[in-house]
Amino acid sequence: GAGVSQSPSNKVTEKGKDVELRCDPISGHTALYWYRQSLGQGLEFLIYFQGNSAPDKSGLPSDRFSAERTGGSVSTLTIQRTQQEDSAVYLCASSFQPSYEQYFGPGTRLTVT
Amino acid sequence: DAKTTQPPSMDCAEGRAANLPCNHSTISGNEYVYWYRQIHSQGPQYIIHGLKNNETNEMASLIITEDRKSSTLILPHATLRDTAVYYCIPRGNNNDMRFGAGTRLTVKP
């Protein structure tokens, strides 16, 4: 079946602009996760959704970052007033339930100029 | 969460078995051992996971020592497409997957 999809695959934006990144999880998966990966670095956890609620926002690096999930499906990660240090690959993952294995999307490469 | 130690890099000849070790000596009783890999410029890919018993699926086998302090991921017949960074991740009740540095496996013709 279809895996996790993310859009756009690449995004170049100017410093100070807002960006929205989208994630479509695997159908039927209740849990959704956002991570980011800076060049040559490991994955950094950002936020986790169970259904539409986000019980764990501990990884969001600043209040410029927010995320929502509607209908228990699609999620949007929004970064306001982007900074150059926000440049990274943003990865989304979903799992059938929170304790199950996570399946990752291909990521969105964000470049802030 | 348990800390892990993996060799930074390994080579394997195409067609041969690749055996990737992981030390997780501080693993707790409720933590599973997950293995993922990340091929260049792609998202991480789930491979296999286990708690105590050895596991096998279409991708790999996972051997966990009886004391659970270490495990080995086995790719039985490595191909060039198996070249990737492989991550061993102990995971209990936490929501996120905590990726370390992993092992960069290079499969050579």
Instruction: Please tell me the distance in Å from B79's CA to the nearest CA on chain A.
Output: 22
**Type of residue found at B71:** S
At A94, which helix (H) or strand (E)?
Answer: strand A88-95
Give B-chain residues touching A34 at CB under 8 angstroms.
none
Instruction: Choose among B42, B49, B96: nearest Cβ to A33.
Output: B96
Number of residue pairs across A and B with CB atoms under 8 Å? 46
Q: Does A67 touch chain B (CB under 8 A)?
A: no
Place of tokens 């100070």: A16
Among residues A59, A113, A57, A108, the alpha carbon closest in space to that of A82 is found at: A113
What DSSP character marks residue B5? B
* pLDDT tens-place string over residues B13-46: 999 999 999 999 999 888 999 999 999 889 999 9
The residues that bridge with A77 in the sheet, in sequence order, are A21, A67
Strand segments (E) across chain B: 9-13, 18-23, 32-38, 45-50, 55-56, 61-64, 70-75, 84-91, 103-108
Please tell me the distance from the alpha carbon of residue B30 to that of residue B67, in angstroms, as a whole number. Answer: 13
* pLDDT tens-place string over residues A16-53: 999 999 999 999 999 999 999 998 788 899 999 998 88
Please tell me the distance from the alpha carbon of residue B23 to that of residue B54, in angstroms, as a whole number. Answer: 16
